[in-house]
Structure formats: C-alpha cells, structure tokens
Structure 1
C-alpha cells in the first residue's frame, strides 16, 4: 500500500493528517480513533476493519484479570487481518458413535461458514467492524454485535463473515454495521472455584463481551454507527451470553444495547462457582502449581503451553461441564429464573428462537443408552441430577419411548438410531432449549416487545432441524436475514412484506414457524406444553 520507510516517517513525525491523505488518495478505507489511524480494506460493498483490540492483551499479570480497556489509540494500525482467536481446541465434541450422523449437516455448515486461516493466542481480545463502503462519521447507522457459538469452548469472530449481513443490508436499502468479537473461552474465560470468586474474575468471557459493548459506545461513531441503536445477536453460547447481558446489573443495560436477538441458547439454571470447585482443583493439579500457597497467582505465571495442555487434559465431551458460566453472585447476582421472576432484566425488544430438534446433538453422545433403565439413570445422574424415580416416571409418561413421538419430530418411526435416541433427543431439547425459551418469554413479554420463531427448516435425516441449523438461513442470506436487519434498524422484525410476525404474549403466544420448504406460518406456541412445564420445574430444582 505504501513503503514501510515512509510510513515510519509519518508515525515518528506525527503527520497523521498526511497519512490520512495518502490513504484517502489510494481509496483505502480508514478511521481515526483517538490519535490512531486504522487502515482497513474494502471488498465489494463493505469496508472491513479487522483485529482491532478492544481491551489490553490479557497476558502476563493480566491473565485471569478483568478486561482493561484498550486505548487511547495512537499511531498507525493495520486493520486488514483478523486478530488471533482465544485459546481453544478443535476436537469434535460429538462421540464417535454418533458423529457420522452429523456429516450431512456439517457439509452444509462448512459450505456456508468456511474455516478461516487463523491462529490462536492469549492476546485475543479484538473485534472486527464491517461497514457499508464509504460510510462516514455521522451516518448514524444501526449496529449489531455478533457473538459466535459454540459452547464457550471454541469459535470467535473470524469464523463468520460479517460482510454477508452488511452486503445484504445494503441490497435491501437498510444499511447496518456489524461488529464481531472474540472473548475468552474455556479456562481462560470461565474459571470457577473459590479462588476465582475471591479474585472477582468469574465469568470473564461475559465481562469481555461487556467491555466490547463499552468500546462500541465509545468508538462506533467513527465508523458511522449509532451508539443508541446496538443489538446484541448470538447463537448457542452467543445467545446464552446475550441473555445474561440482559440479566446483568439488575437488568440495567447502561445504555450499552437497545435490543437482543437470541438463537438456540437461553440462560439456564446454573451451577455455583463452588459447585465446580473440583474443576479448578483439577486444573491446578495438572500443572506445576499443585501444592502452591497461591494457586491463582501461580496459574498467572506458568507458561501458556503448560496451562493450555492442562486445560485440555479432560476428554473433549467433559469440557461442556467444566468451562461454563457459573452463578457467582456478582456478574450474575442470582439464578436466571429468579432474576426473570423479579423483573431484573433489560427492558429492550428481543427475538428468541429455537430449532425444532435442538436435542439431537446431545442425544448423539448417548447412543450407548438403549433401555428405559439407562435413560432413567442418565436423567437422575446427568440430565436432572437428583430427581427421584417417581419424577422420572412422570417424565416417561409425557415422553414415551415410541419413536414417532420423539425428535427429530414429525418423522414417524424413522431415524431411531437406538430404541431411546429419539426420546432422549426430545427430553434434552425440551430441558435445555424449549422450556427455557418459554420461561424467558413468560416473564418478559408483558413488559417489553418480544417475538419468537421455531425453525423446522433443513430437516436432515437422523438429526432433523438440528441446533444451529437456522444459521444456514440467516447467514445464507435467506428470508430471516431481512427480518434480522429490520429488527436491528427499527426494533421490529416486520419489514412490510411477507407473513406478518406478531409479538408473543402470554394471552396470545403466537410464533413464527419456518418450514422445511422455507415457507412461513404463524402458529400457537403450545406444543408439548405439559412435558415442557414439568421439565422446567424440575430443572430449576436440579440444574444440570
């Protein structure tokens, strides 16, 4: 773009205006934040600014610390490449016995979301800003912050091309800005235990997200964004995160966001930080910090590779339960259902959704279970730990082993991988997704505008409309994309054409259904009502 020697001269002499003139003459997009110049790149109709640090690198003594704001910026920043993603592991989290059934969905998913060429490191707290080409400060475009999946174990902003959404917004004459972020994952972002609680560093990944929202408030004007119109959008763990941002701080959003779009992830009843003390202890005992008088201080000082290997020492499937959001009585003051019942939730408009067959992914890890007794044992030990056999029998009465009643739903006797697979998939999906969605709606819809949808699209053999399959529509882009963009812009997903999507209310729980042929209908959200109500009540008493 220009010679390193001349660039160095500009930086050393402080001639930022001259540097800006060169970038402008070359047609290179750039923004000025504080005294820093960020040079991005333009592709098609989108200006992209990648890898911008929104917090100081959480390395050295800042490992396992609250995020510290980046800036003020000064000098030149090359914003044409993604920053590193946060430490993670790409191993499959689906048991080998069930992984083959997921291959058709994975083929569709990776066709839509090609794996980017990126690296990982602790220095990962960066974000990416996608802007309609040529947008200037003062344009006041609405903003959506994307929180990617999955499971607080892997992922990050670079895995999703924000230009897809921005390009489509320009096409339909409703331009928006998209910001995608990295936040700390695994042990680096979700360290439990008394030591983490005493240091005030529980749920660091959620605190990173909050810091990114503060960054948007401070800097998005420079990109042409409107800080008053910021929608938090996520799927799976990103959706759960959006829900907890709504529940943080007694429901006071601090003006950081004006709406939320949540897909296939809702705040669940939580383990406390002390419930997972064993997770912290195992991590320490897998390192040279074993026996240390100050184990947390020791964890901050050991080499990255040692900590990383200790973090991954557990089998992949076990990490779901180890590195997770915890009830810390701080960032999350009380159980989510308690906060919702008390009205301690941000009063912003929101969308909340599920796919039809959310539970099939979880059931693929349980194909060794083939009998009623095996399913009962799993429910009592893992699904709803501590429930009685009498309560299991109540669940069985509402969720029979008949494959035609199970998930994938509406597939008759097809796809029964084991005699219990479809029953388990129905129970898991209703415990972790559908019951939580309804509970969230029942305790918010009377106070704020709320919409819900159910995706029955992409019905794939054996796994059905599996968790995250609606991303194939919205990032396609598809029919849902217009509704997302309109919601970001106006706080209402209806855009004046197609099927009208009514709000969800307790008296009229209307839901938008997306069918396998991509058609839309509006139907009452009352499927499996008795079973879902039972599972929610038990889940509150017995969090997984």
Structure 2
C-alpha cells in the first residue's frame, strides 16, 4: 500500500526544478569545513546557500541497499553552488538529472552574523516514497531563512532502491535487518546536521524535522525510532499518517517476513539468484519492474508498529505540529482505494475493504451513495475525513502524554485559482499548503489576493516560531491552542469565513 502514499503529481502544484535564479548575482560565500572537507557556497539577498553537500557515501556498487556509509573525504575546496542529481525514481513529475549517487543536502542560512546559534528546519520531501527531491522549487528555503532560521532539504533513496527487503540483505547486515534504506538515509542526514550545522551558524540542539505526505509519514517514523533519538527536538508532519496501523490487517503490510518474501520474489522475477546478482543489474532494469515501496517493522529502525509505540509512550519525546487539508480526498481517493470506479453499487464494499470492517449505518448515512454522482462526492469527502481522523488519532495519542504537546491544524483555505486549469492539489488539496509554509506564492503566476499573502505570512510565522521554541504562537498571530482531543483545539488555517464553512469536524463514525 506504499503506492497509496499519494502519487503526488507535483507538476500540477508547481513542483518544478529550482533553477537557482540568483546564481548570476550571487557572490562567493565564506568557505566552511564539514565532514569530508571544505565547501564553498554562495550568498545573495541576505541568504547564504550551500547546495549539493554530501552527507553520506554514494550508495552504488556494493553499497546499493546497504545502510548509508560515512562521507568520503575530498581534496581542496568543493563547490556547493549547484544542486546534486536526485535519487533514481519513476515519478513522472521529476525532470531533474537522476543518479544512484544522490545522498546530498542543501542549506539556506541567514547571511547576517548572529551571536546566538539559529534553529534548524529540516524538510523531508513527499512523493509516496517513490518520487520527489530536496531541490524542487516549492522547497526553496530563501524566504524562511530570512525569518532567522536555517533551512535544510535533502534527498533520500526511493522506490526499489530505497525500500527493499531481501533475506540476503538481512543476513549480511550487522543489525540482521533489511529495508527502510530511505529512512536510514534521513537519519544519516540528521546525524550530519547534528555534527556540522554549527559551521553555518546552526544550533544542533534546536532541530525541527518537517515533511509532507510521505515526508510527513517519515516524520512520524523518525519520532518513533530509537535510531533518531536526540537528532531533533521538534517535529512537523503535513498530511502524512499512513504509517500508523489501526488494526491487525493494516499492521501486516509492515511485516518483516512478508517484506523479505516480496524481495525474494522480485529477485526471481528479474532472474537474479541473490542480492549479489541484483546488485549487478543496472538501475534502469530495476526501475522498470513493478515495486511498491513500504516501510518495515524490522526490529531495528522500528521495534514495533507506530501505533503501539505512540500508545505506550515509547516514541522520542518531542512536541509535534500536525494537520491535514480540507480537500485532499479527491487527490488521494484513487490511490487509497486503488481504483477510480466510485459507483453506488461498489460504495459499501470499497469502504469495507479500506476499513477492514463492515461500515456502520451511521457511516453510510454520512457518506451516502444513492447515485453514482453522490457516491463519487461521498468518497471524496470520506477520504478527506478518513485522512483527518488518522491525523487526529496520532495527535490524540501524543496529547495523552504528560509533557509532549501536540498542535493540530486543518488547512481550509482555497487559494486563488491558477491561470491554467488545476488538475491536482486544487483548492485545499493535497500539498496545497506547501507554498504557504515556504512563503513561496510568487513562484506561481497567479493573481494572489490579500488573503493568500496574509495566510502565507501567518503559516511561515507559525512554523518558524515552532522551530524556535516548540510553540507556534507569536506576536501578531491568532492564538493556537495545544490540542486536547477536542475540535475546538484544531486550528483552522484560512479566513474566518472558510473556518466556519469547513468546521467543525466529527470523526465519531470512524471509531472502531
């Protein structure tokens, strides 16, 4: 079900490659020393940048599918003024050059000197664990860096190269596990940040991880994993929640034995006798084969499923800021249900297949399907609410702890319509909040209104405040109350009229 993690057709929401527009005007930045050697970036408009910085050894050859290894040192000064290739993938919206040698990160830091170390915000991209990159245009950290924070984006291995289990891999691993390579890459990047970010003025003890969709699910995993303990102090997850199994049927998709069996079957289908033969195959051949990337509860990165870890309070104890968008269902329904045939006849069976139980009369009344048109509209709303309920479920587990606060948002704003027809992420759709988080409205040539600009300023303010203190509140911002399980503590991100129109939410029909 990993492919259900949202085929983020980011081309439809402006996730194009960031051709660094300021390169011609940028001047050389100070050279700094990091693991591996000296790097030199650039500086322009009050922001220093370091792009394409290696945080691990290239995972190629014998290192394909192994846990990330330390950076290989280089001689002289390494230029850090251009993005690296992105990780090999099958995502159609990514047009950047690709390579298996892709474990690099990018940094935006204020150029102005500071007597205090600055908080660090680490963005983990989405894309269903099969696509995306840290250099997509929407993730340009320039405007956030001007709010006195340091922004880091990163690449991590994807698809069959980043989420692959096999008995041979388990046998050769010193930890006797396999899979989750992409998440281990994220941890390696966080460890690099912890050890090196002070070189550009960052505070290694004030790191916030944040991500959307599969990046948001990555955040949930990192908060739960003992391997990430101490590498960050706050966590933001946007529309990422599928990693929390809510029943035994869901938990099976994360099973180590099933994952290894799937990997062995993949090898046989490719005519490979074992992992050595698979490593000898070109990446192009591996990527042409069908593969559904998924994370695995393998006893190392994850010792138990996320729901059990959060319910028993064995996650890393950090405050979280989490939420979902009001129109995600239309984007996510085809992936979640693995079909686009949402008819009245199939309606109840589709709900039962997803929930692993017969839908109640109250649920069928709330999401009626007397006609095919009504069934389609109900599926869209059901999917949005189901997504929100899973976020609410996670936050409720967090809020039950004695000291770790949760802040929950509901993004209800319908952005100004694009100049061309919108195909994905429309209105408050999947990923619609990202341009507001990074305060990057100007990347999209829409006739943005005052409501859009105000909301972008507010959301960027909330997110950076949270990174600085663990509390999103600050001067000039509407008060955001910590989540206590009630609707009144879900913070609506939108105009007052939109907040009234889209709320309150009622998740009672989803309770088992």
TM-score by length of 1: 0.75
Match of 1:359 in 2: 329
Match of 2:238 in 1: 263
Residues 279-325 of structure 1, C-alpha deviations (whole Å, 9 max, x = no match): 42453244231xx1xx2222112223322323xxx3xxxx5xx1121
Task: Map 1:417-436; keep pairs closer than 5 Å.
Answer: 418-431=373-386, 433-436=387-390
Match of 1:527 in 2: 505
C-alpha RMSD of matched pairs (Å): 2.9
Could you tell me whether the CA contact under 8 Å between 2:239 and 2:430 is conserved in 1? yes
Task: Map 1:268-307; keep pairs closer than 5 Å.
Answer: 268-269=244-245, 270=251, 271=253, 272-276=255-259, 279-289=262-272, 292=273, 295-307=274-286
Match of 1:406 in 2: none
Match of 1:87 in 2: 88
Distance change >3 Å, CA 278–CA 395, structure 1 → 2: farther
Q: Whose Rg is larger?
A: 1
1:167 aligns with 2:143: yes
Distance change >3 Å, CA 275–CA 419, structure 1 → 2: farther
What secondary structure does 1:40 align onto?
Answer: strand
Match of 2:368 in 1: 400
Cα distance, 1:518 vs. partner?
7.6
- Aligned equivalents of 2:193, 2:66: Cα separation in 1: 21
Match of 2:101 in 1: 123
1:178 aligns with 2:151: yes
Instruction: Identify which of 355, 378, 384 aligns with 2:350.
Output: 378
Could you tell me whether the CA contact under 8 Å between 1:512 and 1:520 is conserved in 2? no
Could you tell me whether the CA contact under 8 Å between 1:239 and 1:265 is conserved in 2? yes
Match of 2:461 in 1: 482
Cα distance, 1:420 vs. partner?
1.7
- Aligned equivalents of 1:340, 1:305: Cα separation in 2: 39
1:440 aligns with 2:363: no
Could you tell me whether the CA contact under 8 Å between 1:86 and 1:156 is conserved in 2? yes
Task: Map 1:111-510; keep pairs closer than 5 Å.
Answer: 118-135=96-113, 139-160=116-137, 163=140, 165-170=141-146, 174-198=147-171, 199=173, 200-249=177-226, 253-266=228-241, 267-269=243-245, 270=251, 271=253, 272-276=255-259, 279-289=262-272, 292=273, 295-310=274-289, 314=290, 322-364=292-334, 366-372=339-345, 374-381=346-353, 383-384=354-355, 387-388=356-357, 390-391=358-359, 395-401=363-369, 418-431=373-386, 433-447=387-401, 448-458=404-414, 464-477=427-440, 478=456, 479-506=458-485, 510=489
List runs of 5+ in structure 2 lacking aligned partners. Answer: 1-26, 246-250, 441-455
What secondary structure does 2:65 align onto?
Answer: coil
- Aligned equivalents of 1:151, 1:243: Cα separation in 2: 14
List runs of 5+ in structure 1 lacking aligned partners. Answer: 1-25, 93-114, 404-415, 535-544
- Aligned equivalents of 1:118, 1:470: Cα separation in 2: 23
Distance change >3 Å, CA 279–CA 148, structure 1 → 2: same
Distance change >3 Å, CA 522–CA 498, structure 1 → 2: farther
Aligned residues: 446
- Aligned equivalents of 1:348, 1:520: Cα separation in 2: 31
Task: Map 1:58-77; keep pairs closer than 5 Å.
Answer: 58-72=59-73, 74-77=75-78
Cα distance, 1:67 vs. partner?
0.5
Distance change >3 Å, CA 392–CA 190, structure 1 → 2: farther
Could you tell me whether the CA contact under 8 Å between 1:512 and 1:522 is conserved in 2? no
Cα distance, 1:39 vs. partner?
1.1
Could you tell me whether the CA contact under 8 Å between 1:511 and 1:523 is conserved in 2? no
Distance change >3 Å, CA 423–CA 464, structure 1 → 2: farther
Could you tell me whether the CA contact under 8 Å between 2:344 and 2:370 is conserved in 1? no
Moved more, 269-278 or 324-333: 269-278
- Aligned equivalents of 1:182, 1:239: Cα separation in 2: 15
Match of 2:446 in 1: none
What secondary structure does 1:400 align onto?
Answer: coil
TM-score by length of 2: 0.80
